[in-house]
Structure 1
Amino acid sequence: MSINLTLDRIRPLASHLQPPYTRPTIHVAGTNGKGSVTSIVASILRASGFSVGRFNSPHLVSIYDSILIDDRSVTPEAYNRASALVVGADLKLGTQASSFELLTLTALQVFETAKVDIAVIEVGMGGLHDATNVITDECILVSALTAVDLDHQTFLGSTVESITQNKAGIARKGKPFLLGAQKHSAVEVAAKSVVDSIGGYFFVSTQVQKRPVENESRFSLSAQPFVPPPGQPIRFESPAFPPVQATLPLHGAHQLHNLALSLTIISTLLTHPSCQKALRGLRPPEVTNGLVITSDTIRTGIEAVSWPGRLSFHKLPCSVTNGLSRDPLTVLVDGAHNPASSETLASYISDITGMLKPRPPKLHITYVLGLSHSPPKTPLETLSPFLSRHSHADPLVTVRVAVLRFTPPEGMPWVKSVEPSTIRDTVLQIVSPADVDVWSAPDEGPIDGQLQNALEWTEAGQAECEVEEEKLVVLAGSLYLVADFYRLLKQLERSGGAV
């Protein structure tokens, strides 16, 4: 089934399911950052003693990764029980629900059966007509909107304003709606208009303050053992709790905005009358009167958060590619799948290469890229933000690019890889052929093995580098390529470092 955004199928199906979904829910929409926000919020709530269900899409390695309880993937047994209930009802009613609608209802059934205290739900696409918006008004504690930018225009509208109106459609009457930091000023105007028309309460997130890094250590991409760049020290003030000081382990300046929205959500849970009423129903009064969520539990939750595949560093053993190099590959993994997230990636690469101490005589960067076919978004728009920084030859930097396809995600037949030849042509449009070496997987034939072949080519190039030179691999583009990388990583872990 292709994408057809509507609630006409899922509403009657959801109303037929027993038991009905009743969990207090935090609902998060946005173009970029919603996964990070759900991860941070869930981590803080867990550190505060709540049992937490979390639903994110798409999954990375397996479908079970999209449904978590207390940060653990749902068990196959629990998933299959809930899925059988949902699929059985779909067949009985003849609703012909989409794969994502079935998955959404499966997640809600899992959380209801487990009786989680709070569920944190990420919108799949858009907001107003997204399957997750089937959750009833009574269940919603807070709705939140992360950064909005152009993406999925075919389904959501051609302007930032129209996309915002769609995403803000998760707002609920009488409930708080929180807006995160935005690049486009039009977002706040459009979102507030939607929230006001629904009768919700509109708030803008409070900023976090970045504290100076204490005892800044030397950073090297080639260090053994490798230590990722330091986290981001922050301070946050709220009338709901004493000032919080913590170190955010997520990388990138954009994560400070995601943290700010997350902490504003937590603050709102403690201060807004509708949230206070819902929380009082969860636990005895002596537990919910501000005694569970404290500055200490917030700090603990912040510092424990993890969100793989978004500016995540990994060391890939050289045995994966027959040991051609002297050292393991340092791989920065990021699902930069649209222009806005690619700009974030470009900024972060500039930040970390500027942190290298001592300055290396030469830096070798290899990009491993795969993209989803998602018109009207083009490969040129997605790749330009980080590749254009290499459009002028730099004698201290060498650039290599490997382009390939990814494994099609299960149950999503509409997701297609951009042909490697198209990505290759785009790369050479951005960077002069004289300044970049490109390896391309075939457009046709088996996808299995393409990532390993790309990494073999990558390592062969790095084997020619001098010892004192720094090397970085950036694997980016579609999250489905990131999923292939994590599957390979798990395969290495199981086999002791050899594929």
Structure 2
Amino acid sequence: MIDLGLARVTRLLGELGNPQNCYKAFHVAGTNGKGSVVSYLSSILTYNGVRTGRFTSPFLINEEDAICINNRPITRQLYEDVKKAVDALNIQKTIQATEFEREAATAFEVFRREKVEVAVIEVGLGGLLDATNVLMKENVLCTAITKIAFDHEGFLGSSLTQIATQKAGIIKPGVPCVADGTNDTEVLQVVKSVADMKSSLLYTPVGLPVGYSTRDILEGEFQKQNAAVAVQSISVAYPQFSRGMIIEGLRNTTWPGRLQWIDMGNQRVLVDGAHNPSAAIELAKYVQEHMRPKSPITWVVAFSKPCDDILAQLVQPGDKVIATKFGSIATMPWIKSLDPNNICESARKYTEESNVTQVANIKDVYFNDNTVICGSLYLLRELYR
């Protein structure tokens, strides 16, 4: 169940003793790129000796993967111990917190028990009413807002202005904010308006700063902006960090499931979590440059929502499309895999009908050497398992 609001999680954290107030934090929102920015920040801090907690969502393989200390997932035992305590308190006090609210509370409590100095927190959905938006201004070093695009319109609004208003809700009074300077003008206007209202010094970087190179960051043209947001955020919060210290942290960054090459038998395939049209555009750019010159692409896809706008960005005549689905998610039963028949119907608009097929499970796919797996992080979860 998705039920945005802060009342339940605030009460739950209060019963826990407000663990989120026991360390400093970076808070990151956005539609695309926020996971990469969180990873850059966590890597830079960890490399430079800052004991760092990291909370991201959704988890990639196991629940504990979403909560890291110094870039390493916590143990299953620690996760279960804290989650059970949080769930018990939720029941005992009849708080009725949602699953994500309890996950966020678990992360905040783990970070207190593990005595982190800084927590890097990724917003789950939106920002203003997201369960992570309980961080106090006194503890937030910097907020960051990545690329904003259409996604989750049913919860955040049907216009970019409405969506940006929700994302900008993480901006804290008097706390610096870094926003991706390549956002649409209407998005930046909203962010600037909120920043001005809250007396938050706003930075809007465009491109990597002088002295930084694409060799130091993750693959993909769009990573220039994600890295720029991370570098500016760190520079604001830790002016004592030299360029060399930051670059080494960038070089050590990993972020599974985003433009990641993996070995499947004797073939290397590209996997990416692109699940909305704007992310698909960036994936298509990468594929155009690095894969299309070789041969048509085989797309292995599953989605949790209508996919026509995504496939329109990816699939070209001559490409093959293999539609599949992912299984149910115990912690998020409301998320359902789109019927592969619906995917095939959309795919036939962009490539020959004979090139469109479906399989029941991604494990049944025979991979060639020019394959991309994308459409949902939940599909990648099944692949990695």
- Displacement of 1:478 in angstroms is 0.7
Find the counterpart in structure 2 of residue 422 from structure 1.
342
Cα deviation, residue 244, structure 1? 4.7
Query: 1:366 offset after TM fit, Å?
Result: 1.1
Rounded to whole Å, the distance in 2 between the matches of 1:59 and 1:175 is 29
5 Å matches for 1:388-427? 390-391=316-317, 398-427=318-347
Amino acid aligned to 2:272: D
2:245: which partner in 1?
Answer: 297
Distance across 2 between alignment mates of 1:158 and 1:441: 34
Question: In structure 2, what is the equivalent of residue 385 of structure 1?
Answer: 313
Q: Give the equivalent residue in structure 2 for 1:439.
A: 357
Q: CA distance change for structure 1 residues 407 and 295 in 2, over 3 Å: closer, same or farther? A: same
8 Å Cα contact 1:370-1:476 kept in structure 2? yes
Kindly indicate whether the alpha-carbon contact (under 8 Å) linking 2:181 and 2:188 is maintained by their aligned counterparts in 1.
no
Distance 1:249 1:174 in 2: 30
- Indicate which of 366, 380, 386 corresponds to 2:298: 366
| Letter of the 1:426 counterpart | S
Residue 280 of structure 1 corresponds to: none
Per the alignment, residue 263 of structure 1 pairs with 231
CA-CA distance at 1:248 after TM superposition: 2.6
Residue identity in the other structure for 1:304: N
Is contact 2:291-2:370 (8 Å) kept? no
The superposition leaves residues 190-209 of structure 1 with CA deviations (integer Å, 9 ceiling, x where unpaired) of 1111222233222212531x
3-state DSSP class of the match of 2:298? Answer: strand
Q: 1:261-303 CA deviation, whole Å, 9 max, x = no partner?
A: 00000110134xxxxxxxxxxxxxxxxxx2xx22322121111
Specify the alignment match of 1:322 in structure 2: none
Q: Return the alpha-carbon distance in structure 2 between the equivalents of residues 438 and 150 of structure 1.
A: 27
Match of 2:7 in 1: 8
> What is the distance in 1 between the residues matched to 2:120 and 2:254?
15
> For structure 2, which runs of at least 5 residues remain unmatched after alignment?
none
Counterpart of 1:247 in structure 2 is: 215
Q: Secondary structure at the match of 1:158?
A: coil
The equivalent residue for 1:38 is 38
Code of the aligned partner of 1:407: G
Q: Which runs of 4+ in 1 moved over 3 A?
A: 243-246
Kindly indicate whether residue 371 of structure 2 is the aligned counterpart of residue 473 of structure 1: yes
Structure 1 residues 157 and 484, CA gap change in structure 2 (3 angstroms): same
**Partner residue in 2 for 1:90:** 90
User: Is the 2:216–2:247 contact (alpha carbons within 8 Å) kept by the matching residues of 1?
Assistant: no
**Is the counterpart of residue 349 in structure 1 residue 349 in structure 2?**
no
Contact 1:90 1:97 in 2 (8 A): yes
* Mapped partners of 2:67, 2:40: distance in 1: 16
How far is the alpha carbon of 1:183 from its aligned partner?
4.0
- Number of residue pairs matched by the alignment: 384
**What are the within-5 Å matches in structure 2 for residues 102-141 of structure 1?**
102-141=102-141
Partner SS for 2:320: strand
Displacement after TM superposition at 1:304 (Å) = 1.0
Look at both structures and tell me which one has the larger radius of gyration over its CA atoms: 1
Post-superposition offset of 1:399: 2.1
Letter in 1 for 2:222: H
User: SS where residue 286 of structure 2 aligns?
Assistant: helix
Q: CA deviation at 1:331?
A: 0.8
The residue correspondences of 1:194-209 to structure 2 (distance < 5 A) are: 194-205=194-205, 207-208=207-208
Q: Distance in 1 between matches of 2:276 and 2:183?
A: 15
Structure 1 residue 6, shift from structure 2 partner: 0.7
Hey, what's the Cα distance between the residues in 1 that align with 2:244 and 2:18?
36
1:14, 1:20 within 8 Å by CA — same for their partners in 2? yes
8 Å Cα contact 2:206-2:225 kept in structure 1: no
Match 2:264 to one of 308, 311, 316? 316
SS in 2 for 1:424: helix
Q: Which residue of 2 is the match for residue 336 of structure 1?
A: 274
Separation in 2, partners of 1:473, 1:245: 28
Partner of 1:225: none
| CA deviation vs aligned residue, 1:171-198 (integer Å, no higher than 9, x gap) | 1011111111334111110111122223
User: Are the structure 2 counterparts of residues 252 and 52 from structure 1 closer, same or farther at C-alpha, using a change threshold of 3 Å?
Assistant: same
Is the contact made by 1:29 and 1:127 (CA closer than 8 Å) also made in structure 2?
yes
Deviation at 1:246, TM superposition (A): 6.9
TM-score normalised over the length of structure 2: 0.96
One-letter amino acid matched to 2:342 = T
Shift of 1:364: 4.3
AA of the residue aligned to 2:12:
L
Rounded Cα–Cα distance in structure 2 between residues aligned with 1:295 and 1:193: 31
Greater shift in the superposed pair: 378-387 or 10-19: 10-19
Match of 1:468 in 2: none
How far apart in 1 are the matches of 2:11 and 2:127?
Answer: 19
> Is the partner of 2:297 in helix, strand or coil?
strand
Secondary structure in 1 matching 2:256: coil
